[in-house]
Chain A
């Protein structure tokens, strides 16, 4: 497996953007038949390196070598022709077309007459997806499948295009654990067939489960490349942040408070008969797999989606929540999972983003007072340690972690009684993650009822005062984090059969 000439290599790559050096003389290689993980905090340059290797961006200096031969990549389609495929975080698929048409996007099979040969396309698609071990009807519309399945279909497309190099950018950021396992099986299958795979991820547990080698970038510079078996997650985190994070989670000193939010038999689209009490002064973690109904429940409590039956009580008083505005009125705040599409105004400034939920607060009667607008933002920047050049900086130029802090600032300014944070640390770097954790904890200590929805077990275990587990729209258990184990939580979330998959993973790998 240790070929002398790497399959695909970037040598001494440098890329500047106005004001920053995104990559400074970085070299990186992937061999045929290996999974090479690329890790680093946000802004470390992982994505830039991926985009350069996928032909989306061009380096300022340095070169790319495919099988030892220097190549120039002008655009992604040229990279594809050379066998290099990039699968983006945001999938580039066509939901209203059939699965097969998605796989054969730009290379439909034709009959002799010149018409599209659908039967052959369906057959070939079914074959390749079966090789991945997933059962998908090539004739049905893509939109009928989950995000996780779509991702595999996108990978199938890359394989169909005879890709020898597969670049995966945060492939698990939007899918749950079982789907991740399925993805890993596909990745291993491809690796064993000689494909070189670059795997960019924030999630170290996944990296350690799938990667043969790990390369760490920090602030646009190469830190080290190490074989996975010769290192530990702690060592990699140290390389990523340059310092030791021995305390991921703040200390807990639980304040037993009054019941602030109470749900009685709440039923809506995607969840049913949920009874739940969140107390002031505590962080309640809600764990579950993708599709368990957590986000749907949160959105119903926040008035984004309707609930059909059941009651919501705030501080013991029955309330009717029919819109986000109504939810805000009774003191509920919600930080959505889909940060970019549901939370942020990317083209608008930092101060305008914070003011979005506080327009009344920054106004005198009908008139907005610019000083108050700015004051609110300056206060937030200081309190939450947001890194921004000014309050007028457009949101799209902030890092993921800082964007998330702005969203928190927007809601904290309202001093909510109940804060629901949906996957609050997804896709943000380790440093900002710790800040968000402290913030959630701080908020609870100041008397809010904090509900944290998360798919990351360490976060759920480390931060929650109580853990509720959801599965298939139902609340299936409630746990004290000090009297349970990760295994128990997962078994409740997944049900026993899928639990076996988790345990058997290692065995599969060995065979």
Chain B
């Protein structure tokens, strides 16, 4: 009897607490909304802290900076939904840039043919990855680690380690140009991103990726051609890596064999921050891209605030772990 008022108070506060937990959980689950919120907060803080942040120049620089990785993120995101991933994308970017640059500079073929050559190379590597994973049943980590090492070596061997330089400025427009204040790479990113995002939400083919990532055995036994779809997605990832590589090559007007060694891990990290899981079945292209934008803004902020770039990894790594940790928390409490 004496205890009852205290007891009821306790239960009221615990009800409020559980309501807050439920609210937070639902919010955390809307990963895209959370990221948009975080990005806005980030922009607001930076506008206050740095006079250089809120300017067309800075925004152009940021968007041009993440656009190529953004295009690669799209392919990687599709694979992650199907519970696969591709470590070779960075090496593919380097090789396709070199192939395209070589075709332009040395073979003097028309730009379209050169680009097709680069994209074809990316598609071919993607196809190899897909065959290794779906036909030979090699784990994606090992399969794409192997091709990554090979492709990087081919890029270095083909060029003797030297960049393929003197790509004409007329081609450089793809990487350096702008339409009004908007960088061309960003436009390409938005177009590809929109198309893939819509096809992933509403398209019969890409929708199958969620089934495959959710339960590949059940997907197969529902008549979904699991291996074909996964193989196709590896090819698509190779193609997006090629786009990223060719645009970066255009921006630098040279194909460089040693670059992009961190890209694969960066885009996987961005995708996971954006709501993907290595075990597959969840996330969206929009979410993955927002994850990348978020990381790019952090990096920009550190530059503007005069923090050494060497510390960038500390921040992005922490963000990655916090994102996954919150995800685990929200599921454990359900």
Contact = CB atoms under 8 A, between A and B. Distances in A.
A19 B132 CA distance: 47
Nearest to A370: B202
Interface string B203-214: 111011011001
Central interface residue in B203, B205, B225, by most chain A CB within 10 Å: B203
Nearest to A356: B222
A334 interface: yes
Contact of B214 (A304, A323, A325, A347): A347
B251 interface: no
Q: Is the interface of B mostly helix, strand, loop or mixed?
A: helix
A262 interface: no
Contacts of B118: none
A302 B210 contact: no
Contacts of A37: none
A303 B107 CA distance: 50
A345 B203 contact: no
B221 A304 contact: yes
A344 B215 contact: yes
Contacts of B225: 323, 325
Contact of B221 (A324, A347, A363, A367): A324
Contacts of A367: 202-204
A328 interface: yes
A334 B217 CA distance: 13
Interface string B130-149: 00000000000000000000
Interface string A313-357: 000000000011101100000101000011111111000100011
A474 B205 CA distance: 40
A15 B205 CA distance: 44
A2 interface: no
Contacts, number: 70
A324 B218 CA distance: 11
B221 A343 contact: yes
A357 B223 CA distance: 6
A356 B211 contact: yes
A359 interface: yes
Interface residues of B, number: 22
B201 to A, nearest CB: 8
A405 interface: no
B333 to A, nearest CB: 10
B224 interface: yes
Contacts of B205: 366
Interface string B180-220: 00000000000000000001001111011011001101111
A71 interface: no
Contacts of A359: 204, 207-208, 224
B215 A346 contact: yes
A325 B223 contact: yes
A341 B216 CA distance: 9
A347 B208 CA distance: 14
B128 to A, nearest CB: 23
Central interface residue in A327, A359, A410, by most chain B CB within 10 Å: A359
Nearest to A329: B223
A416 to B, nearest CB: 11
A366 B195 CA distance: 13
A345 B215 contact: yes
Contact of A324 (B207, B210, B220, B281): B220
B282 interface: yes
Given A357-B223, A359-B207, A347 B218 contact: no
Contacts of A370: 202
A347 B83 CA distance: 14
A304 B282 contact: no
A336 B219 CA distance: 12
3 nearest A-B residue pairs (beta carbon): A356-B222, A345-B214, A357-B222
27 contacts: A302-B221, A304-B220, A323-B223, A324-B221, A324-B222, A324-B223, A325-B224, A325-B225, A341-B215, A341-B218, A342-B218, A343-B218, A344-B218, A345-B214, A345-B215, A345-B218, A346-B215, A348-B210, A352-B211, A357-B223, A359-B204, A360-B204, A366-B203, A366-B204, A367-B203, A368-B203, A410-B222
Given A357-B223, A367-B204, 12 more contacts: A304-B220, A304-B221, A323-B223, A324-B223, A334-B221, A343-B218, A344-B215, A345-B218, A346-B215, A357-B222, A363-B204, A370-B202
Interface of A: 302, 304, 323-325, 327-328, 334, 336, 341-348, 352, 356-357, 359-360, 363, 366-368, 370, 410
